[in-house]
Chains A and B, each alone.
Chain A
């Protein structure tokens, strides 16, 4: 049974704009899932359904196999387990200082002051921003705001963390740092789901992928398997990750056995190359 599942959900925005048209998606516990799709393919709309912000016009969302309800008590227990980080951090930060903003979620969980303080401290430490605790939120840089926004959800310790385009607008180093930090969250058993249109990034970071096009999932599964299918990738208006191309080519050339793992980092790919250079 999947931890969280969308079953045939449809959503239409005012003006008859169809965002989702009978979409299915399964989120498995403990796997990193990348939701890959071009701009306007319905990624954000899906995330808003997965934490109950939007109610589907048709279909249902299931948590632990139970169909979700939309009364306020159900929504609260839903969001306790499924956290959502918006793409624009400024849409999320409202308190004057970083520490105060991060404390908002834990206090809403009904935690006492001491526990809240502990959660805030550990969330800030997990995102490597403990030094910003007293800083004004409006004086932060773009990357710092992003981390504070994520810390605000991490402090609530959800089982699933949904991130909408977490690396959009970040520079190279900022992206690397953020991915490292997110990878560290898994030790606390958080299942990560993130949307992106960056196939390279998804390939390096995710275990599974869901490919989106026109409001439906066109493929779902282990990321290397799905992205190796050119037709699917083209249909989703995306491109095959370069690292994956190298790995597949290495397999064709016999540098990798058919069951050897494909390189997932630049270093692993370079190591393959050096193997090609040295006489076997």
Chain B
């Protein structure tokens, strides 16, 4: 979680507009899932991984770490397609199974690389601003914003409490570990409430009247970039249709 967030905040394409990034990501995703050609899917994956690692300079280790979670699902899905089990429980290669698995693998890889591109290059603040722009009710956008902010405070607090418990040997045996863990969770609750109350005081001091209005940074999309993205997507689409 936190390494994705760090990458989103520190990559080279951090300040690119959400419109450009989502056009690239969702456009490519659409092509990967709708065009049956596996070649197109591989091209999409290559472009998106290239954009993430080379253009936005996301650290490959971070990309890989974020990729391993969906990878296990992907592998299980593809492997079960490649094999068949008959009535005598005999396992064999399914007819055409390898090709099917390859196709599925290529498209899933393309899809995941599209989403990882967006997740690893876009700060959460931009997503929230984007939500407002497309007309999501401000209450929902505000909830998302507060949850995002407090997720980090909560994990920081939990980590500090955990370190304090460890220092007093609270996690040496399984039994004590479970007891300490339950105490930690029970203590987070009142702390969260106290924090919410202090936040209310802090916000009221700044004239809060029930709405969390902030001035989001303007990230203008350039017509040139949008044009390049559309052209690139048309090219991949053409490859996909031609190679079918």
Q: Interface on A for B, CB 8 Å cutoff?
A: 48, 51, 53, 72, 75-76, 79-80, 83-86, 88, 90-97, 99-101, 103-105, 107-109, 113, 116-117, 120, 133-139, 149, 152-153, 156
In Å, the complex CA distance between A270 and B219 comes to 54
Contact B214 A100 (CB under 8 A): yes
Contact B216 A86 (CB under 8 A): no
In Å, the complex CA distance between A156 and B152 comes to 27
In Å, the complex CA distance between A88 and B153 comes to 12
**Per DSSP, are chain A's interface residues mostly helix, strand or loop, or mixed?**
helix
* Partner among B153, B215, B217 whose Cβ is within 8 Å of the Cβ of A116: B215
A-B pair count, CB < 8 Å, reads 109
Contact A96 B207 (CB under 8 A): no
Contact B149 A94 (CB under 8 A): yes
Mark contacts of B183-222 with chain A using CB atoms, 8 A cut-off: 1 yes-contact digit, 0 otherwise. 0000000000001001101111111110011111100000
- Whether A104 touches B149, Cβ cut-off 8 Å, given contacts A84-B205, A86-B201, A91-B201, is no
Q: Interface on B for A, CB 8 Å cutoff?
A: 5-6, 9, 14-15, 123-125, 128, 145-146, 148-149, 152-153, 195, 198-199, 201-209, 212-217
* Partner among A96, A99, A101 whose Cβ is within 8 Å of the Cβ of B148: A96
Chain A residues with Cβ below 8 Å from B152 are 138
In Å, the complex CA distance between A103 and B202 comes to 14
- Whether A92 touches B15, Cβ cut-off 8 Å, given contacts A99-B217, A136-B9, is no
* Partner among A48, A76, A139 whose Cβ is within 8 Å of the Cβ of B209: A76
Chain B residues with Cβ below 8 Å from A84 are 205
Contact B204 A104 (CB under 8 A): no
Contact A109 B149 (CB under 8 A): no
In Å, the complex CA distance between A205 and B216 comes to 36
Residue of B at shortest CB range from A96?
B125
Q: What are 24 A-B contacts defined by CB distance under 8 Å?
A: A51-B205, A53-B201, A76-B209, A79-B206, A83-B206, A86-B202, A86-B205, A90-B153, A92-B202, A95-B125, A95-B214, A96-B124, A96-B145, A99-B215, A100-B217, A104-B203, A104-B208, A108-B213, A120-B215, A133-B217, A134-B15, A137-B149, A138-B149, A156-B206
